[in-house]
Amino acid sequence: MRTLTFWSGIVCCFLCGLVDPAWGYAAVFVLSLVQLALLGSSGGSVFLLIHYATMLTYFSLAPAMQIANDVDFWETGVLTTASQAQALVLLLLYMAGVEAARFGMPDAPVHRPGLYHARAVGVAHPFLLLLSCSFAAFATLFIRPDLNFVARGIPGEDDSVPIDFIVYSTLPKLVVLMCFVALAIHAFRRRTPWAWASAGLALALAAVAANPVNTARQILLIGLLPLFIHALARQRHWRWALAGLIFGAIAALGPVLNLFSRGSVWGEGLTTFPFSQDFDAMFVVAGILERAPIPDLGWGRYLLSAFSFFLPRDLKMFPDFDPLGWSAILGNFSQSNLSLPPFTTAYFDFGLMGPLLLGIAISAGFRLVDKAIDPHRALSGSYLSALVLLSAYVPFMRGPILGWGPFAASGLIAAVIAGALSARSRRMRRVRALPPTVRRDLPTP
């Protein structure tokens, strides 16, 4: 039923878009809502839940209202209907690819609640190790305070040093946040005063580390969303709450935090949703399609260039294959720090098949991640990494700009650290619980 509804909806979105792109995006909005409702009732894929919540936020209502009100960004002017319709087609192809990869899969995952029960009981005595790791990462933030407490880099410079930014800002912040996530999951399971106290202290450190001046949304989404995925994603009655949380964090909390950072540091203000610059992704896509000549196919080089954006210029893969660096783009957009959704970059690489193939590849990969998501699992690096990957999908779809690559990579590193510390603690507890004769026979590391 859900699959049939989706493909019927895609056809309706396409037909509405041919009449008026605003109607096409409005149809995407309705389709996303319907899919969220069906996923919520069936208890289906966590990835699809996040996928449709992201579509709802960035790629449906906002561009529909922007087109209907002739809103323009970055001094580009109003774009033509043809370019907006072409941008919509790329989005629909990507959405079709995501669903095509789910053919033959049951909507509801097979639950095995007893599988991890034995391990979950012994989970946790990691709070001393995790708190120590969190304190060390928090202290690292003060080695380069110019990277952590001034918006997006060094004062007076357009580009901060990428490697320093990752080492002294992004990675420590994500370690602090992921340790809090691990300690919070631990506290909910153990429910002891020491566990709650350690989680509360980690929360205080995380609140200071994820200050609203420094790309706060990426930190909050990749750092804290795993906790809500763990708590809500597998509970059928709470899945709408998770979708609403994602929507609210992006549509409301994000612009508010940006208003603090940009308004207090740069003296800039943001208009209210949906006309905020935070929702310009499809406008940028349409602008590039209209204002720049479509290049020859890159056969993957555009994607590789986009995903290596955080590297220094001399290490960047295929720096010439950067659509946002084209002279036609720089001459038409007043803002050079634009974001480009990955399905558009895939279009430059492989034509109209690009967005479809990217959707299939992304969705097929997340089928494996979906299998790893079970709130009854013991705390581990692989489990936390699966949560981080699901969370990182939100800023990934917005476009790999600024902090997405470093934040996603740092989130995975932090998850592995937190999970490894917890797993080490569990192994030590199990060994100590063994009889002395058995313990002596164990191999020494």
The per-residue pLDDT for 143 is 85
**pLDDT in tens for each of the 445 residues of the chain?**
788 888 888 999 899 888 889 999 999 999 998 888 888 766 678 888 889 988 988 888 888 888 888 887 877 788 888 888 999 999 999 999 998 888 766 655 544 444 444 444 334 456 677 888 888 888 888 888 777 766 554 444 545 466 777 788 878 888 888 888 888 888 887 788 888 888 888 888 888 887 655 556 677 777 788 888 888 876 667 777 888 888 887 777 667 766 666 655 555 556 666 677 778 888 888 888 888 777 777 787 777 777 766 565 556 677 677 777 777 777 777 776 677 888 888 888 888 898 999 999 999 888 888 888 877 777 788 888 888 888 888 888 887 654 566 677 778 888 888 888 776 555 545 444 445 554 455 454 4
Using CA atoms, how far residue 248 sits from 25, 59, 331, 364, in Å, is 19, 15, 34, 27
Q: Where does residue 9 rank: exposed (0-12), middle (13-18), buried (19+ CB within 10 A)?
A: buried
The per-residue pLDDT for 117 is 42
CA distance 402 to 223: 16
Residue with tokens 């002395």: 436
The per-residue pLDDT for 23 is 92
CA distance 291 to 284: 10
Using CA atoms, how far residue 3 sits from 6, 31, 302, 355, 361, in Å, is 5, 12, 32, 19, 18
Residue 325 · residue 66 · CB < 8 Å: no
Give the alpha-carbon dihedral of 431, 434, 440, 445, to 10 degrees: -10
Residue with tokens 């999908």: 393
Residue 391: both structure tokens together? 């969370």
Residue spans of alpha helices (H) in 149-273: 162-165, 171-190, 193-209, 216-232, 239-248, 254-261
